[in-house]
Amino acid sequence: MGTAALAQYGAFEDKYNRMLEYLSSEGSYWIDNDQWYLEADSFRQAGINTGKKKTGKLADFGGYRSEQLKNEMKYFLLYSIKNGLLSVSSLYGHYREAVRQMGILQGGRHPADSFAVFNQGDEKAVSAGNVSEKERLYQILKRDVIRFIRNYYDDRNEMEKDVWHSACIPGVKISAAAKRQKASISFVKVPSY
């Protein structure tokens, strides 16, 4: 398992190196620190609005045994915050503990070196039924990071994938208002025939 299974994603090593370059921005704060603090100058340098929360620990990656899993989680969070997919206040209020737990739990349970090779069953989020809010948020974060990292490494043409994102299809023009909606279509549940 691990990087050998990632061969299906083409130029894995090149994309992983680009991920490390992205994490090296703002004085390498993101890649060098396993605890991100809101008062760090790197947030301001990156143009990240920390909102009302100006101090405190935003994320703790100390429990990640796999360097690659840790860097993929850091990339997912930094990219999501910088591109408005996740707000600092949402990460701080809802997912901060889930990020920490992901490192602790997956480090001992999952032999993978990358979120891209987690099993499909790992991607399913738990419904709000009979699980705690903490477990539900953990499962949502896990599902989202798996999807994001798989998509990041997948260099196939968008039309060859099982989920098409309109922003990735050449020639498709999307209005500013439509960018706030989920502009994708999934063929995952359609029978292969």
pLDDT at 2: 46
SS3 breakdown of the chain: % helix, strand, coil, rounded to 5?
Answer: 55, 5, 35
pLDDT at 11: 66
For residues 182 and 193, give the distance between their C-alpha atoms in angstroms, rounded to a whole number: 26
pLDDT at 66: 85
Domain ranges of the chain: 2-155, 158-193
Nearest to 33 by CA among 65, 57, 17, 66: 57
Q: With contact defined as beta carbons under 8 Å apart, do 6 and 117 qualify?
A: yes
Residues of the chain under the 70 pLDDT cut = 1-11, 53, 107-112, 119-129, 156-189, 192-193
